[in-house]
């Protein structure tokens, strides 16, 4: 049987079976980058990779097996190597951190195998909660993953269509609908599939999203040529501009909601060619991240009602107590509750997230509230998972000390908050929770506005914009709501992001042993039906 070597971009090559590749020719400009050798139909050892053998990038420097013939070329080596590695990049987005994959790099694997690869890369499961054997940081904000792609682009979309429903990528069914994606006002340039990686588990939660990582997804799209700043410059007459903001429209596939991430880019000349790169002007700092980085604006339109129950206030019966809450969905359903109503007084609310995490009774009350809130509507019930709804404890503004030892005066904030996500007090604040706070602040009867009034904080409103600043464990964070009359229409906040590394994820042996049947075998079986 013959094999074809297909160049998917300039960096990474993959062997693909000649038996099925002709049926799905790659369109011009395809940028799928990599298809694992695990999908190659050929020798048995290629179908079931030997993790002990080195990967392609190691080959030139690895000691050859005794008696092994010298390979004539890099290409011949690639053809012979099993796949035990998957291309990935490691990014910080806001105060979150995670692995970013091109969707095509994980699409050829069965869903259970995708989860196994991701969890192994992040060091999960880890009963000690440290994720010591991977890239995770032992906290929900540091254990995240995203699959990123252009809508409907790539060979993988056709492959998955043939494989059937059980092989689909997570998210709304229409995420790769190119007609919807190309709409000039409601379309999107990038599909963002977020996964929350458990610290001590092996099943990734793909049902939620992360607002902090939006900034990283936009930067990843720029780095990986999913978006093209030179085209935007030409279409908008910016060829002579030394720098400009590049808007990247992102679909959050889990929720079907959109956001626009505006990246600062600079024009540069390299080897006689004009290139557009991410700006190096470090002008923005955010609480929880040392130093300064280029600022990235995140804007999220509120395309549907932000009040899932239709009310600014609801009263929940939790363990025989009536607790008033404001439930907001500005990306993820979020329950805003007075800290005092959960037994958290002024001396406890100023504690660090790590200290609050030691209160198991408090966590039990929070979880009971979260579960009860999810029963308010069928939509909230359907959204219930480990990462939704979020919970935010709200308290009138109070002086406190940040996790880094900095004192924040009460006049530096409108309210003091302690957000909770995936069973942990967050070390800063989730962007989705900050968005929910901003939306709630626009309603006079909300829990947030009440807490602000109790602390004597004035409402910061300029024209049709209302801004809130919250005190959170790492410092202060702000978000602005655009209003149309009394109704919030969009949320804007600023984040920073950075690519930490770009390379290949090694698949450990215990994961490789559990691999599902390679794609090629299933494809071959189905195409003859």
Q: Among 227, 229, 193, which Cα is nearest to 213's?
A: 193
What integer pLDDT is reported at residue 60 of this predicted model? Answer: 29
More confident of the two residues 168 and 81: 168
**With bands split at pLDDT 50, 70 and 90, how would you rate the model's confidence at 518?**
low
> For residue 159, is pLDDT > 90?
no
Cβ 226 vs Cβ 31: under 8 Å: yes
What integer pLDDT is reported at residue 167 of this predicted model? Answer: 82
> For residue 323, is pLDDT > 60?
yes
> For residue 404, is pLDDT > 50?
yes
Domain boundaries, the chain: 3-211+507-527, 228-301, 314-496
**With bands split at pLDDT 50, 70 and 90, how would you rate the model's confidence at 153?**
confident
Q: What CATH number labels 228-301?
A: 2.60.40
- What is the pTM for the complete model shown? 0.81
Per-residue pLDDT averaged across 263-277, rounded? 94
For residue 385, the 8-state DSSP code is B
Instruction: Decide yes or no: CATH 3.10.310.10 for domain 314-496.
Output: yes
What integer pLDDT is reported at residue 112 of this predicted model? Answer: 85
More confident of the two residues 92 and 462: 92
Residues 6 or more apart whose Cβ sits within 8 Å of residue 234: none
CA distances from 279 to 96, 218, 233, 249 (A): 21, 13, 15, 19
Give me 216's structure tokens.
């990283």
Average pLDDT of the chain? 83
**With bands split at pLDDT 50, 70 and 90, how would you rate the model's confidence at 524?**
low
The C-alpha atoms of residue 370 and residue 388 are separated, in whole angstroms, by 8
What integer pLDDT is reported at residue 53 of this predicted model? Answer: 33
Per-residue pLDDT averaged across 106-113, rounded? 83
Look at the block and give the residue holding tokens 């007084």.
345
User: What is residue 372's three-state secondary structure?
Assistant: helix
Residues 6 or more apart whose Cβ sits within 8 Å of residue 93: 210, 212, 213, 214, 215, 216, 217, 219, 495, 497
What integer pLDDT is reported at residue 6 of this predicted model? Answer: 33
3-211+507-527 with 228-301: one CATH topology? no
What integer pLDDT is reported at residue 264 of this predicted model? Answer: 98
> For residue 55, is pLDDT > 50?
no
What proportion of the chain, given as a percentage, has pLDDT over 70? 79
**With bands split at pLDDT 50, 70 and 90, how would you rate the model's confidence at 456?**
very high
Cβ 74 vs Cβ 13: under 8 Å: no
Q: Which class does domain 3-211+507-527 fall in?
A: alpha beta
Q: How would DSSP label each residue in 265-303? A: EEEEEETTEEEEEE-----B--TTS-S-B--EEEEEE--
């Amino acid at each position: 049987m013959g094999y074809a070597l297909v160049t998917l971009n300039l960096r990474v090559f993959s062997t693909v079976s000649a038996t099925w590749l002709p049926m799905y020719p790659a369109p011009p400009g395809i940028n799928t980058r990599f298809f694992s050798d695990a999908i190659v139909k050929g020798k048995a050892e290629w179908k079931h990779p030997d993790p002990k053998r080195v990967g392609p990038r190691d080959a030139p420097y690895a000691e050859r097996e005794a008696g092994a013939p010298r390979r004539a070329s890099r290409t011949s080596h690639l053809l012979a190597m099993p796949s035990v590695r998957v291309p990935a990049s490691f990014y910080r987005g806001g105060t979150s951190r995670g692995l970013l994959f091109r969707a095509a790099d994980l699409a050829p694997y069965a869903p259970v195998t995708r989860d196994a690869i991701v969890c192994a890369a992040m060091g999960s499961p880890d009963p000690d909660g440290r994720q010591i054997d991977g890239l995770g940081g032992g906290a929900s904000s540091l254990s995240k993953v995203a699959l990123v792609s252009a809508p409907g682009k790539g060979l993988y979309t056709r492959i998955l269509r043939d494989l059937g429903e059980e092989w689909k990528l997570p998210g709304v069914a229409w995420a790769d609908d190119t007609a919807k994606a190309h709409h000039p006002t409601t379309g999107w340039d990038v599909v963002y599939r977020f996964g929350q990686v458990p610290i001590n588990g092996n099943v990734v939660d793909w049902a939620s999203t992360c607002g902090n990582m939006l900034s990283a997804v936009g930067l990843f799209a720029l780095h990986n040529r999913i978006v093209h700043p030179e085209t935007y410059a030409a279409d908008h007459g910016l060829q002579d501009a030394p720098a400009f903001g590049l808007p990247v429209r992102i679909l959050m596939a889990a929720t079907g909601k959109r956001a626009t991430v505006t990246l600062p880019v600079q024009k540069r000349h390299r080897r006689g060619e004009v290139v557009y790169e991410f700006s190096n002007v470090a002008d923005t700092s955010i609480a929880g991240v040392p130093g300064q980085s280029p600022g990235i604006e995140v804007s999220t339109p509120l395309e549907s009602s932000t009040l899932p129950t239709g009310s600014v206030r609801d009263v929940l019966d939790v363990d025989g107590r009536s607790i008033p809450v404001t439930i907001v969905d500005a990306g993820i359903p979020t329950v805003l509750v007075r800290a005092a109503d959960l037994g958290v007084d002024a001396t406890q609310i100023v504690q660090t997230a790590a200290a609050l995490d030691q209160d198991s009774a408090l966590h039990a009350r929070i979880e009971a509230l979260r579960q009860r809130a999810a029963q308010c509507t069928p939509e909230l019930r359907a959204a219930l998972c480990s990462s939704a709804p979020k919970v935010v404890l709200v308290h009138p503004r109070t002086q406190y000390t940040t996790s880094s030892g900095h004192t924040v005066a009460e006049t530096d904030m409108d309210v003091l908050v302690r957000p909770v996500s995936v069973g942990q007090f967050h070390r800063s604040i989730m962007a989705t929770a900050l968005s929910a706070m901003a939306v709630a602040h626009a309603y006079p009867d909300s829990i947030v506005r009440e807490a602000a009034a109790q602390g004597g904080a004035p409402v910061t409103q300029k024209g049709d914009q209302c801004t809130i600043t919250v005190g959170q464990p790492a410092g202060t964070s702000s978000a602005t709501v655009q209003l149309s009359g009394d109704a919030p229409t969009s949320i804007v906040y600023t984040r920073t992001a950075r690519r930490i590394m770009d390379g290949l994820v090694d698949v450990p042996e215990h994961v490789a042993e559990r691999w599902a049947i390679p794609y090629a075998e299933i494809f071959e079986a189905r195409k003859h039906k």
